Structure 1
């Protein structure tokens, strides 16, 4: 063999090998995130009218750089940990990308986040916060990204890329909390079972829309024990969880599981992992010491009783022992709690993940 050619082939092999090793560490080509403030990584920073913002202290006190980024958390949130598990960078907020004048289609290849604080499955659940991106809007934005990926990769290439990517959906809490709001007009017109059935039917249509735009692997995160967040405990003199809100969270999750099984039979090539957030969060609350927590009722950052009379604001006080707390503010978990939740999403047993965990989903 010609010495120069042999050297060239050796160099090619080394480069190819290093690329292969990199791709092995990366379990999925992309992560597309849909949801609410539990996974918002900064979209609401770009919504001028929104009151649901976290781009100010003390949010981000434990985030790299110790600056607020728009995450409703002291540090990384579930979206960040999901990306880490998949060997990907955190999916950037969609609204931050499209605000750039030099945006290229390649910016979307590793995924993007459409999640928005205050968002719900229904349009209008954000009325309290003036502005957010409800799920229908998030899916519409994804349709734009899909078109850009087709331009970048070609139709067949985009389909191949997206079929192996993860589509994570973390939404529904705001719909249930809004329904149980003291001034909820919906509650006077709609029975609880009818409401959760309608949530599921609306979600099903949006998931079908995502499927029609290439989505195949869905990481579906159920609604947590919303009745146990500090905002709901603070409404009770006993500071106990709202059993009614929790009951209908469970009912919605049951409906969500059944609709996912319906979709499997309707949509060829679709697969999913459903995560029982409710049970895992209840474990943290009922057996805190087993997970390294001490405080399960009060928020770390806020003002008033249980630090839940007001959100985490620059004038709020915040705890020095964030790892001891399950809740960062009146609604959202701490970085420590979010990390445990995602660990279970990724590696959980069938007690919490159905029909498989996220690690198994990406390998399927």
Structure 2
């Protein structure tokens, strides 16, 4: 056989090998577990995973699985602008802050824990992108109820501990620890505790300062539990200007913000910031980014047009005064332009507002995100 024939055969063999390799990669991608689950594999992934704890601001459907809970959003008109155009359990017209931050991190949509709990003993690979434990109406404090409306922060951390232990068994303790140390742990909670102070006899048993001190102490205990089980990078969001929600305004004849609610929220945020600074010196290797949602929401209300809002008092979806006499129920009316409303319903922001919040969380200046923003946090 001549030298030319050998070169041709070698070239054909090389080309065939390359084609086989390419086809193998394509098949591997198309039928990988992550793709079969509807996840999008991306080279833009910034962190291995994101674990979310909180209330209805970041619930992505956990409460759908609580049989007796009334704190659900799995009905129209919720989800009106979600990609599927269907209600998912998110208290929003579209995506919420948890979804949007995950996108910024190059992650697929983080699923609700209770949708996957039955798979705990089968495949922990399903949890490698992260899990969302948030629950509508959740509080920092646990309530003793026979039929709980939500999953308290402590119970959410309990669920995380079972996931962490499973990951260690699945991929090994060392790999699991490395995975978790690089992941984001996002906590958005506290608003419902503030409302409870004014809605019950709690205010008769403790002063405002005592109450927020207790809130922060309880939160600290849960953060330390997460730290003990691998968490190192935290995104902590302060309580916003919740006395200015349509629901709170609706209770006043002049439709102005409730000053006492805002004052207690600000008092809590101040104690929280102080606690986080001390925690940084107490726990080796912990890093965090605190987002001042209170000030940013204040800016929205004071100068709405600068942020693209035309309406910052009334809800988009609801009934009655300020669309706040009723929640966003299937028979409620809703606005045609959700992007120019700050509030979707009586208490929750629109997707448009969530997007601006997340932009600040990711790359906001030191004035609103400190001691560093999330972009810097993930680079550590």
- Give me the TM-score of the superposition, normalised by structure 1: 0.92
Instruction: Show the counterpart of 1:104.
Output: 123
Cα deviations across residues 162-221 of structure 1 (Å, max 9, x unaligned)?
Answer: 00000000000110011122xx11111111110000000000000000000000000001
Cα deviations across residues 285-338 of structure 1 (Å, max 9, x unaligned)?
Answer: 111100111111111111111111111111111111111110000000000000
- Report the alpha carbon displacement of residue 362 of structure 1 after superposing the two structures with TM: 0.4
1:253 and 2:250 equivalent? no
* Structure 2 CA distance for aligned equivalents of residues 273 and 55 of structure 1: 31
How many residues align? The count is 354
Instruction: Show the counterpart of 1:292.
Output: 308
Instruction: Show the counterpart of 1:132.
Output: 150
Instruction: Flag the structure with larger Rg.
Output: 2
Q: Does the 8 A contact of 2:233 with 2:288 survive in 1?
A: yes
1:154 and 2:154 equivalent? no
Instruction: Show the counterpart of 1:76.
Output: 95
Q: Which runs of 5+ in 1 are unaligned?
A: none
CA change 1:279–1:290 in 2 (3 A) is same
* Structure 1 CA distance for aligned equivalents of residues 297 and 86 of structure 2: 27
1:281 and 2:300 equivalent? no
Secondary structure of the corresponding residue to residue 296 of structure 1 = strand
Q: Does the 8 A contact of 2:120 with 2:166 survive in 1?
A: no
- Report the alpha carbon displacement of residue 99 of structure 1 after superposing the two structures with TM: 3.6
Secondary structure of the corresponding residue to residue 56 of structure 1 = coil
Q: Does the 8 A contact of 1:301 with 1:311 survive in 2?
A: yes
User: Alignment partner for residue 223 of structure 1, among 223, 239, 259?
Assistant: 239
* Structure 1 CA distance for aligned equivalents of residues 68 and 237 of structure 2: 28
1:165 and 2:183 equivalent? yes
Instruction: Show the counterpart of 1:325.
Output: 341
* Structure 1 CA distance for aligned equivalents of residues 201 and 173 of structure 2: 45
- Give me the TM-score of the superposition, normalised by structure 2: 0.89
Cα deviations across residues 229-263 of structure 1 (Å, max 9, x unaligned)?
Answer: 01110111110001111111111111111111111
Instruction: Show the counterpart of 2:279.
Output: 263
- Report the alpha carbon displacement of residue 101 of structure 1 after superposing the two structures with TM: 8.6
Cα deviations across residues 97-136 of structure 1 (Å, max 9, x unaligned)?
Answer: 01459841111111000000000100129x7x94110000
Instruction: Show the counterpart of 2:37.
Output: none
* Structure 2 CA distance for aligned equivalents of residues 100 and 270 of structure 1: 31
Instruction: Show the counterpart of 2:65.
Output: 46
Q: Which runs of 5+ in 2 are unaligned?
A: 1-9, 30-40
* Structure 1 CA distance for aligned equivalents of residues 111 and 79 of structure 2: 16
* Structure 2 CA distance for aligned equivalents of residues 43 and 103 of structure 1: 20
* Structure 2 CA distance for aligned equivalents of residues 172 and 97 of structure 1: 26
Alignment of 1:309-348 (within 5 A): 309-348=325-364
Cα deviations across residues 261-295 of structure 1 (Å, max 9, x unaligned)?
Answer: 11111111000000000011111111110011111
Q: Does the 8 A contact of 1:97 with 1:103 survive in 2?
A: no
Secondary structure of the corresponding residue to residue 276 of structure 2 = helix
* Structure 1 CA distance for aligned equivalents of residues 14 and 280 of structure 2: 51
* Structure 2 CA distance for aligned equivalents of residues 102 and 155 of structure 1: 17
Q: Does the 8 A contact of 2:120 with 2:163 survive in 1?
A: no
* Structure 1 CA distance for aligned equivalents of residues 252 and 216 of structure 2: 29
1:174 and 2:189 equivalent? no
- Report the alpha carbon displacement of residue 24 of structure 1 after superposing the two structures with TM: 4.9
Secondary structure of the corresponding residue to residue 314 of structure 2 = coil
Secondary structure of the corresponding residue to residue 326 of structure 1 = strand
Q: Does the 8 A contact of 1:302 with 1:310 survive in 2?
A: yes
Q: CA RMSD in A?
A: 2.3
* Structure 2 CA distance for aligned equivalents of residues 206 and 98 of structure 1: 21
Deviates more, 1:254-263 or 1:326-335: 254-263
Q: Does the 8 A contact of 1:162 with 1:214 survive in 2?
A: yes
* Structure 2 CA distance for aligned equivalents of residues 159 and 134 of structure 1: 25
User: Alignment partner for residue 185 of structure 1, among 201, 207, 215?
Assistant: 201
* Structure 1 CA distance for aligned equivalents of residues 118 and 62 of structure 2: 11
